[in-house]
């Protein structure tokens, strides 16, 4: 029977690359994103690889919309085997005391509440069906402190707590939950930021021992491995994929 994955933030960047990589493994994909244009583009790319896919528009900061994407996936495919809990935003890049309360609420709503809601509704379905595999997107800012991303960093540290504590509760029931912690990666969002701020790219790459940014395809390879491989004893781990960026910190 063909397996099914839900990928949030599936309309671009890490989500889109992972959708394509998992489709190459013959997995049906439910693409969740707030952007219809990006989400539908991913669906087209996935279908071209010979598997089925649907786009579900959702604001993950709203619990009812998260429940909706889970319900619609079940209606279409009948199972949820894999979940890439990936949707997130970075914020303005201002120092914390210069950020607004609205920005704090938005980042926490999408990054942390969105991830909590996703695991809440997806894990419920998975456990009814004997288990499943989840990968949450944390960040290098979830394993070390970094300036100009205080709220973002707080949410990504929270993602790691969510990952480890879910394993403590539900690994015995067949659930695997891991997290990835990417460093600076060449997603469309990061690319456009660096194009506007070339000095920032130079600063970022000089701090990475491999002296380059990661690619979405490299991250997609790791996510696909964690979700689908037979390495089923990997559970509750936070895998850094950052070219050594956090290795000396």
* Distance, CA of 95 to CA of 247 (rounded, Å): 24
SS3 track for the chain? CCCEEEEECCCCHHHHHHHHHHHCCCCEEEEEECCHHHHHHHHHHHHCCCCCEEEEECCCCCHHHHHHHHHHHHHHHCCCCEEEECCCCCCCCCCHHHCCHHHHHHHHHHHHHHHHHHHHHHHHHHHHCCCEEEEEECCHHHCCCCCCCHHHHHHHHHHHHHHHHHHHHHHHHCEEEEEEEECCECCHHHHHHHHHCHHHHHHHHHCCCCCCCECHHHHHHHHHHHHHCCCCCCCCCEEEECCCCCCCC
Q: In the chain, what is the greatest distance between 2 CA atoms, to the nearest angstrom? A: 52
Active-site residue, 121 included: no
Active-site option among 69, 82, 117, 152: 152
Which residues are the active-site residues? Answer: 152
């Amino acid at each position: 029977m063909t397996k099914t994955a839900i990928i949030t933030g599936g309309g671009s960047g890490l989500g889109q690359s992972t959708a394509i990589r998992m489709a190459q493994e013959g997995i049906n994909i439910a693409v969740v994103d707030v952007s219809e244009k990006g989400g539908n583009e991913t669906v087209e790319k996935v279908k071209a690889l010979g598997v089925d896919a649907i786009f579900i528009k959702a604001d993950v900061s709203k619990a009812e919309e998260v429940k909706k994407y889970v319900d619609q996936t079940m209606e279409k495919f009948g199972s949820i085997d894999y979940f890439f809990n990936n949707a997130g935003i970075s914020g303005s890049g201002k120092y914390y005391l210069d950020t607004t309360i609205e920005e704090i609420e938005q980042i926490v709503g999408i990054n942390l509440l969105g991830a909590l809601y996703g695991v809440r509704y997806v894990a419920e379905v998975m456990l009814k069906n004997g288990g499943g595999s989840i990968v949450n997107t944390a960040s290098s800012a979830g394993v070390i402190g970094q300036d100009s991303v205080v709220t973002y960093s707080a949410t990504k540290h929270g993602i790691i707590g969510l990952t480890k504590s879910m394993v403590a509760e539900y690994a015995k029931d067949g659930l695997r939950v891991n997290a990835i912690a990417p460093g600076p990666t060449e997603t469309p969002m990061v690319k456009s930021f660096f194009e506007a701020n070339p000095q920032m790219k130079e600063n970022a790459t000089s701090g990475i021992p491999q002296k380059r940014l990661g690619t979405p395809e490299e991250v997609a390879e790791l996510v696909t491995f964690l979700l689908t491989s037979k390495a089923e004893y990997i559970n509750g781990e936070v895998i850094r994929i950052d070219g050594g960026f956090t290795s000396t910190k």
